[in-house]
Chain A
Amino acid sequence: MASTTRTISLTVNGRPQTAEVEPRKLLVDFLREDLGLVGAHIGCEHGVCGTCTVLLNGASIRSCITFAVQADGAEVSTVEGLAGSGELHPLQDEFSAKQGLQCGYCTPGMLMRACEILAQNPDPAPAEVRSAIASNLCRCTGYQFITEAVLDAAARMRRAKETAS
């Protein structure tokens, strides 16, 4: 049904955005259709599979069960913000090195979830990684090489931090 629109202002990958949206428009559709950021994918549309995962103020959320208006005033991070057009983020690079992806459909959600995991715990144990990524389904890899990629990226990111400080 036609409905009145609302104005929302938010930051997406560091860039301020203002837009008119229908109140019922899902965040994932807003990102994909209005902003052209197609990295967040639609998988189950009921908040289980996690392929639509983005960060809202640093915390992972399911953008398929979040309305765009709920992101008003927030900072949203998507996979497109990880590397921009530059070099791959260590997580992306390790996913490639370890073949932590096959069809690639869950990958953006997994990467964003992994960002959150490593922000909370830069040195997780393998079981902690498995437990944390159990929020997101992957139908291809069986998770083993994803786990390896996250652990190796964590080690690289720790080394980079030590070198920098």
Chain B
Amino acid sequence: MTTANRAAAPPVRDHSAKRRWVGRSIRRVEDPKFLRGQGGYIADRITPGTLHAAVLRSPHPHARILGIETSQALAAPGVHTVITGKEAAELCDPMPDFGPDPSKHTWRCLAAEKVRYVGEGVAVVVADSRYLAEDALELIDVSYEPLPAVVDPERALASGAPLVHEALESNCAYERTFDFGDVERDFAEADLIVRDRLRWHRSGGQPLETVGAIADYDPGTGSLTIDTNSLSFTSYLFMVASTLKVPVNKLDIRPVPAGGSFGSKLFATKPAVIAGMCSRATGRKVTYLEDRIDNISNCDHHGSDRIYEVELAVMRDGTIRGIKIDTIDDYGAYIQFGMGHHGNALAQAVGPYTIGSVRYHVRAALTNKNQQGAYRGFGSEVNNWMLEQMVDKAAGELGLDPVTIRRTNFIRKFPHFIPTGNVYDSGNYDEVLDQALVLADYDHWRAEQKRLREQEGRYIGIGLITAQERSVFSATEFWFWFDQPGAPVTSTPESVTLKVDATGGITAILYSCAFWGNSPETMVAQFVAEEFDCDPYDVAIAYQGSRDGLPATGPGGSRTTVMLAGAVEGAAGKIKEKARRAAAHLLEIDPGDLEWADGGYQVKGDPEQRKSLAEIAIALHLFKHSFPAEMESGLDASKVFDHPYTTMPSADRKDLGVFYPFMGHACHIPVVEVDIETGAVTFLHYAAVHDCGTLVNPRSLAGHIVGGTAQGIGTALYEEYVYDDDGQLLSSSYLDYLIPTAVEVPELAIGHVETPSPYTPHGVKGGGEGGRMMAPAAINAAVNDALLPLGVRLTELPMTPERILSALREAEKTG
């Protein structure tokens, strides 16, 4: 770790001001329309006369496309056009791709020469209705030459494996080893090296609403308007314009509410590109909305799929000195987000522990599967699971209990720079653990575990994990992988415009933060209310499309609330400054003699002499000539809030700089029972305590904790995109891809600790990825604790009944 040239941290903020609205569990301002069934989701906006697109998917995991016969489909009733992959490659350039070498693993909206996974699109039909479009799909005749498929990531990396992309001449899209700190010394001096091999299989966000778009090309002006439920990374939408071959200033992509994302709608632009291409081809308004099979097999947002070989250097007292991580990640057929998932993991690679060195060897394997994208955690939830598994294994080998080994290694001084270079801004891990132990009734359950084992022969397990939730990513994590990055981007901004109308009413305009089930409108309303002493329900919220918008990034990496807080604070500051000068002029007093109080400016020490925001606003809107010449009419301001704390990586990449600074933390303690006859896992209790800084709306955060935990339960026990050895997708419906229901998810006992960030408005940290950062690790730990008497340790997720029973059988055999 190099510390010499470390850039200065931003100034430490004063959070002592009393807050009126931030911190209150008010009802969400978004909800009434959804409760009435008038959410305005993408499918609700399809108007009569809109054409419908449907995509023909590949049944083969790997095959050359020899030809596509479309004449019958073109002649079918109601069909307007059929576009094959080859034709699409003429109409559109490749998809935006942040991968290591896009020219060697080219990704298109439809496959052109060969298909690389089951479900990849090969042609699209545009017809008067979805029914007619799907009828016509059946009339398309594709001749394929099947090729051998590669499914297993280790096999994919071995020599002689079938190549997913011939141009790459290998299935390894990226490989590098990073050393942070003195790894060799720490391992040489260790009392014990703890080793394990761990396997995390792929699952995904699976929002109940799929991804969709409505595109409307206007041949008269050459402009293309696309409404979509997946607007994100507004600053990068010029790349979509390039794919669609339209000038950037002729493309307007507009956000509509999404029925869930969990990462899986992050920059999910393929449906928008397909709809846009079809609208240009037909000159008509066209919608393309994935069906469920499209979404499961072809969404480009499968989650992490990793094999780990890990070594931990440990001292006899439980001190963990260093960690060597060797990981293979199965990216599927393309690699749109590059190594961002591992950049993410490096932000908190050492968890809440004082581990001094890290070796990170990563290989990105390409296989015949749908590609990875984003799923709540973006790779960090996998790192949490790996690290907690290793810490528990070390505790077991040293004869320490899980609480002791964690307390032995907790970081207690902040800000703390971890070996990779990232900073943990603040935290109080002991307090979180203390509260969780109480909430979990830990001692009671330890006693129960013993009693039920001895008296009733039952296998009860208590999992305990303490792990990180980094928040507010900076762009560097996407490029510090390369010594000569193509695009060393430096900020991931978010913008807000505030407009005060002539009556003092406030409208907030958001630029990419589509509503995805998070609560950007409630958050902004609470921040605006805090600034202007108004009722949050009186704040109007509007969204702006990409063309007329300001730089923005959108939800992802638990950034939204913090970034919106900064943008609102900045815009409010500009408005208040102008309002102060206007009020001073109206009151014929020096601006410095005024103070903001109760929604207006008043003379310090003389509250009788004041002007409310409404009085100031109407004067500024209508009576320009009453003011000095330099004061313009109106009262509005915008703030482009850039990432508040990013530093650049060192040239030798031994220090990656600060890239994910606002560090949340949590402790999860589930109590499970494992039925060793059936392999079923049920919950007896579940406690979760999170600290993500100052709470904005505690109820809303609790919702993310429970909801994320439910998804983590899916990851730990049920959910997997299963490809068989031939590359066929076996879990292409909800009959096979098992999402937890209300009976699989227990009631959570939830606790909050608030350790404010010194660097963000109000001290807020992100918390959107919630329970899914923690639950897979915690449940795995609980199952292992339950099966400890049988000498069984599960090292592979999800822990399906089959995997649990097979581990039990294996243990019996080796006895």
Contact = CB atoms under 8 A, between A and B. Distances in A.
Contacts of B131: 22, 24-25
State the main secondary structure of chain A at its contact with B: loop
Contacts of A92: 35-36
Contacts of A78: 37
A99 to B, nearest CB: 5
Contact of B37 (A24, A79, A96, A134): A79
Interface string B39-62: 101011000000000000000000
B706 interface: yes
Given A104-B517, A137-B739, A44 B707 contact: no
B290 to A, nearest CB: 11
Interface in B23-43: 25, 27-28, 30-39, 41, 43
A63 interface: no
A105 B260 contact: yes
Contacts of A103: 34, 207-209, 257-261, 515-517
A107 interface: yes
Contact of B517 (A88, A102, A129, A133): A102
Contacts of B126: none
Given A99-B703, A145-B706, A108 B37 contact: yes
Interface stretch (B109-117, B408-416, B639-647, B743-751): B743-751
Interface in A127-165: 129-131, 133-147
B734 interface: yes
Contacts of A37: 37
A102 B710 CA distance: 14
Contact of A39 (B36, B209, B735, B771): B36
A32 B745 contact: no
A146 B35 contact: no
B372 interface: no
A61 interface: no
Contacts of B739: 49, 137, 139
A144 B706 contact: yes
A139 B159 CA distance: 41
A83 B34 CA distance: 12
Interface string A102-124: 11111110010000000000000
B259 A41 contact: yes
A130 B741 CA distance: 9
Given A99-B700, A105-B260, A144 B747 contact: yes
Nearest to B709: A142
Contact of A104 (B39, B77, B708, B733): B39
B292 interface: yes
Contacts, number: 181
Q: Which of A48, A99, A141 has the most CB of B within 10 A?
A: A99
Contacts of A102: 260, 517-519, 703-704, 707
A142 B27 contact: no
Contact of A105 (B39, B292, B741): B39
A60 interface: no
Interface string B759-792: 0000000000001000000000000000000000
A107 B706 contact: no
Given A96-B27, A144-B747, A139 B711 contact: yes
Contact of A142 (B699, B734, B745): B745
A2 B76 CA distance: 10
Contacts of B702: 99, 145
A38 interface: yes
Contact of A49 (B519, B734, B742): B734
A20 B313 CA distance: 73
B37 A80 contact: yes
B538 interface: no
A131 B741 CA distance: 9
A110 B135 CA distance: 32
B208 A105 contact: yes
Contact of B260 (A44, A98, A108, A139): A139
A82 B32 CA distance: 13
Interface in B702-753: 702-704, 706-711, 733-735, 739, 741-743, 745, 747-748
Contacts of B209: 41, 43, 103, 105
Contacts of B515: 103
Contact of A99 (B27, B292, B745): B27
A157 to B, nearest CB: 16
Q: Which of A48, A51, A129 has the most CB of B within 10 A?
A: A48
Given A104-B517, A145-B706, A99 B699 contact: yes
A141 B36 contact: no
Contacts of A125: none
A97 interface: yes
A117 B208 CA distance: 22
B710 A142 contact: yes
Interface in A1-58: 1-2, 22, 24-25, 32, 37-46, 48-49, 51
A134 B743 CA distance: 6
A104 B517 CA distance: 7
A44 to B, nearest CB: 5
B521 to A, nearest CB: 12
A44 B733 contact: yes
A63 to B, nearest CB: 13
Contacts of B28: 96, 99
A131 B37 contact: no
A142 to B, nearest CB: 4
Interface in B122-156: 131, 135
A142 B709 CA distance: 7
Interface in B414-452: none
Interface string A60-85: 00000000000000000011101100
B38 A38 contact: yes
A103 B209 CA distance: 9
Contacts of A126: 747
B36 A137 contact: no
Nearest to B45: A38
B317 interface: no
Nearest to A109: B208
A41 B41 contact: yes
A46 B27 contact: no
B37 A39 contact: yes
Contacts of A101: 31, 34-35
A80 B36 contact: yes
A31 B159 CA distance: 56
Given A49-B734, A99-B699, A143 B34 contact: no
B590 interface: no
27 contacts: A25-B131, A32-B44, A45-B291, A46-B292, A83-B36, A102-B260, A103-B208, A103-B209, A103-B257, A103-B259, A103-B517, A104-B30, A104-B31, A104-B517, A105-B517, A106-B259, A129-B742, A131-B742, A133-B741, A134-B743, A136-B741, A137-B739, A139-B262, A141-B707, A142-B706, A145-B706, A147-B747
**Closest 8 A/B residue pairs (Cβ):** A39-B37, A104-B34, A105-B259, A103-B517, A142-B706, A142-B710, A79-B37, A48-B734
Interface of B: 25, 27-28, 30-39, 41, 43-44, 77, 131, 135, 205-209, 257-262, 291-292, 515-519, 699-700, 702-704, 706-711, 733-735, 739, 741-743, 745, 747-748, 771
Given A96-B31, A143-B741, A147-B742, 4 more contacts: A83-B35, A95-B35, A96-B32, A105-B41
Interface of A: 1-2, 22, 24-25, 32, 37-46, 48-49, 51, 78-80, 82-83, 88, 92, 95-99, 101-108, 111, 126, 129-131, 133-147
